[in-house]
Amino acid sequence: MREWCEQAAGWVDLDARELLAMESRRGDPLYFALLRNMVVSLGVMDILAEAGVQPKAMAGHCAGVMPAAAAAGGVDRKDLITLIGRIAEAPGTDDSGRTEGLAQLAFAEGTSPAEIEWFYGDEWPDVYLAADSGLIADGSYRIITVSGYMDDLEKLAARMPRKEQVRLYDTYGAVHSPRYKPIRDHLEPFVRATAFHDPVVPIYCGLQREPITKGEQLAGIFIRCLTEPVWVDNVRLGLKTEGVRLAIAPGPGSPAQMEFLQWPFDVLEVRTPDDVVKAIATLDEYAVG
C-alpha cells in the first residue's frame, strides 16, 4: 500500500504522506481530494486482490468509476493519476470570491417530489441537483445532494426542519453541476487523448442505467461526471441485475457513504486495515472471492 502511494504521488509531484490520509479535509483543492480517494481506493483493491478477491462487477456513483476503471484494466493507472492531476491546472469555476460546495439533505419518507425539488428549483437559481442517493437503510429518509455557492446552501439548509438533516461540504466545490463546465472543458482534450480499453468486468455508474463495457464509454463518463447529476439507483439496480450479494466499497468514499443507504445486497466499507481483515472474513462467510 505504502509503495503504491509513493509511486502514485511521484507521478504528480505530491507528498505521499498526504495521500495516505484516509479522510478528505475541508478546504482541500478538488484535485488533491480526488487524488487521495483514487490512490487509497486502488491501494485497498490491490490488497483485496492479493487475498484472492475477484469482483464480478464494479461500480462507482460517479468519480468512483475512475479507480474501478483502472482496476478493471480500462485505463492505465499512471494515465489516470496524471489525468486527475490536470485538474490543478484548470481555471476557476467562479471569480466572485464566493465559496462553492455541496449540501446533503435528508427528507423524511413520504415527502413529496415537489417539496424536495423546491430545494433546487426556481427559488434557488444557482443551486443544482448533484445526486439522488435514494433511501437510507431503514427507509426512513431519502437523501439528495445539491451543489452551488456555500452561502446559498447555508440559507437553503436553514429551511430544513432539523439541523441534523443537513450536511455541508466545501471539499469538492459545486461538482455535478453546470458550474463545473470550465473544469470539464479544460479536462476534455486530455481525456480524449488518453488510451481507454474495454474493462474486464462490467462497470456501473450513477450517470446511466446500462453497464459500461467499452473503453469509449469510459472516456465519455470521465467527461460527463463533472457537470451532470448522478442517480444511485442506476448503480443499485445494475449490481442487482448482476446478482451481487455483497459489495465492498474501498477507500475514503464520498459524502454519501454506502453503508447508510438502502441496497438489495450487503455492503462493507473498507476504510482502515481492520476493515480489510473484516472484508476478507466476510467474503469467506459468503463463499465468494
**Residues 65-86 pLDDT 10s:** 999 999 999 999 999 999 988 9
Provide the CATH number for the domain formed by 2-91+178-286 in this structure.
3.40.366.10
Specify the pLDDT at position 203. Answer: 98
100-169, what's its fold? Alpha-Beta Plaits (3.30.70)
Specify the pLDDT at position 242. Answer: 95
Which parts of the chain register pLDDT below 50? 22, 26-27, 255
Domain boundaries, the chain: 2-91+178-286, 100-169
pTM of the full structure: 0.90
Specify the pLDDT at position 190. Answer: 96
- Residue 75's beta-bridge partner residues? 196
- Which residues have C-beta within 8 Å of that of residue 281, sequence separation ≥ 6? none
Alpha-carbon torsion, ordered 41, 238, 54, 44, to 10 deg: 10
Residue 171 to residue 178: CA distance in whole angstroms? 17
